[in-house]
Chain A
Amino acid sequence: MGTSPLGLERTQLLKGVLDSVVLAALSESDSYGYDVVRRLRLSGLPEVADASAYGTLRRLFAQGLLTSYVVASEEGPHRKYYGLTPVGQKALEVQRSDWLSFSTIVARILTGDAFTPGDES
């Protein structure tokens, strides 16, 4: 978890975007809890904690951004799949736009491009 002591604490960064990445994962395809965690970890976020992801799933579901349904399994327990509701889809779109805007600004600042002489706006 995290990088060097002077680096950004990825777990803290992840907390700010966990909702968005969970929504994004489910926008690709409906999935059950552990599968969401696994997919996020395989996507480059190994620090995703299972409890964080599962709690986020339950909270987003309670907030109306996700819907759920149970799929019977012959091999193991029934799985509760989650998918995006129209509200969740819209939320994802907004958050995606916000993140892109935010990350672009941060990137400009961090690279010094935000402080180009003459750019007073």
Chain B
Amino acid sequence: MTTTTTSPTQIADYANAVRTALGDLSPEQAHAVLDGLDEHLTEIAADGPDDLVDVLGTPSAYAAELRASAGLGSATTPTAPATATTPRVAPSSTTSTPPPDADQPIDGLSSPPVEPTPSSRLHLGDGRTSISRITMVVVLSVLAITVIRVSKPIMGLEVVLGALGVASVWWGLRALGARANLTGAMQRRLPAALGATALVLAVLVGGLIAGNHTVDRVIYNGGVSSPSRSTVPTATGGLVMVLPNVIGFDADAAIAVLGALGLEPVVRNAGAGPTILAMAPGPGTPLMPPGSVIVLTAGPLSPRQTIPDTPPATVDSTALNTTAATSIITADTAVATATADTTAAPTAPASTTTPVSAPPTTTAPGVERTASVP
């Protein structure tokens, strides 16, 4: 290598002039096409030219040629293809390998020229845009989960949305080749950003899942259901089933369905949300043995919810839908006659709303009582 007569200052001046001529490019585009230019010019200068302009032409001409061969078009016109090659995502600027796409053939001669877009040919300018898109996806996912969860509790939806949110972020990264487009600083921050996103989603989804399981236990006539299926049969051998957060809950439809199943809906509350307590009559049904109870609600039940075993028609909606459940009914105690609650026949269809009597809340917690199935 001969000693260059071109000073480092001249090299830098030439490189800066080229950068100035390409000043209309986005930072990402400029980085992709100008990365390593100084070193490249230094190599040229080391070959002995007295003046880079003599060898390379003016900086503006060099920049124009560089722009054209890089497929960026002219300064004021849309980008135009230099050669007919398939656009791909730009890899990072240092030791790296572009996204694997080895099976797609590249036809450099016979394919028609591809009209590039700002996000195609060199895929320049997607670094910061990728971060913005990721952030937007995360924010929208969180908002969607929150809004839907508040407006219409649907079991499992949060899990689905959370998974979709993470999947969309992952897909976005792959589709955009975001990592390859990011600068070094962005690449260093990307794992932390993804980790924070995953943590937020995990906390949100986990919290929503936990919150959705609001039924601690439902006890009726000794039978225990926790949280939604029967674990302990009732004193008469029936099942206790709780179905909270019923999607599209319609009380009338639910009553019709329960009737078709041989169950007798005996209460319908018009409080915060309709709740139906359906009981299997004496001989039972093919699906539900006698003494079984199904509780259907449009929203979640409160933890440790109790279903008073008094005549169902008198069940108070507030008792079913508040967190202030006070008594636990067990199967092993004598019946404490519920005298204050009887206002309707136990098998009357639940065509009216809002029973009038409160459950026997005067019973202190822990006092045991049972009642037979009406």
Contact = CB atoms under 8 A, between A and B. Distances in A.
A52 B100 CA distance: 26
B106 A50 contact: no
Interface string A65-98: 1111110000111111000011100110011001
Contact of B95 (A51, A55, A69, A76): A69
A11 B114 CA distance: 21
Given A51-B66, A86-B102, A63 B86 contact: yes
A52 B43 contact: no
Contacts of B56: 50-51
A71 to B, nearest CB: 10
B44 A55 contact: no
Given A59-B82, A64-B91, A78-B39, A50 B44 contact: yes
Contacts of B88: 62-65, 87
A78 B86 CA distance: 30
Nearest to B29: A62
Interface stretch (A1-9, A14-22, A113-121): A14-22
B94 A70 contact: yes
Interface string A1-40: 0000000000000011011100000000000111100000
A62 to B, nearest CB: 4
A55 B33 contact: yes
B151 interface: no
B249 interface: no
Contacts, number: 161
B41 to A, nearest CB: 9
Nearest to B106: A91
Given A70-B94, A79-B43, A62 B102 contact: no
A90 B66 contact: no
Interface in B219-254: none
Contacts of A68: 93-96
> Dominant SS at the B interface?
loop
A59 B70 contact: yes
Interface in B240-289: none
A64 B101 contact: yes
> Dominant SS at the A interface?
helix
A91 B108 contact: yes
Interface in B58-98: 61-63, 65-71, 82-83, 85-91, 93-98
Interface stretch (B121-129, B200-208, B329-337, B338-346): B121-129
Residues of A in contact with B, size category: 35 or more
Contact of A33 (B43, B57, B65, B69): B43
Contacts of A76: 1, 42-43, 46
B123 A98 contact: no
Contacts of B67: 55
Which of B55, B67, B87, B97: most chain A CB closer than 10 A? B97
B43 A70 contact: no
A66 B96 CA distance: 9
B33 A58 contact: yes
A52 B65 contact: yes
A74 B33 CA distance: 26
9 nearest A-B pairs in the assembled complex, by CB-CB distance: A55-B69, A64-B98, A91-B106, A51-B65, A62-B90, A34-B43, A64-B88, A63-B88, A55-B70
Given A64-B98, A67-B98, A98-B109, 11 more contacts: A34-B40, A51-B65, A52-B65, A53-B69, A55-B33, A56-B69, A59-B70, A59-B85, A67-B97, A77-B42, A94-B105
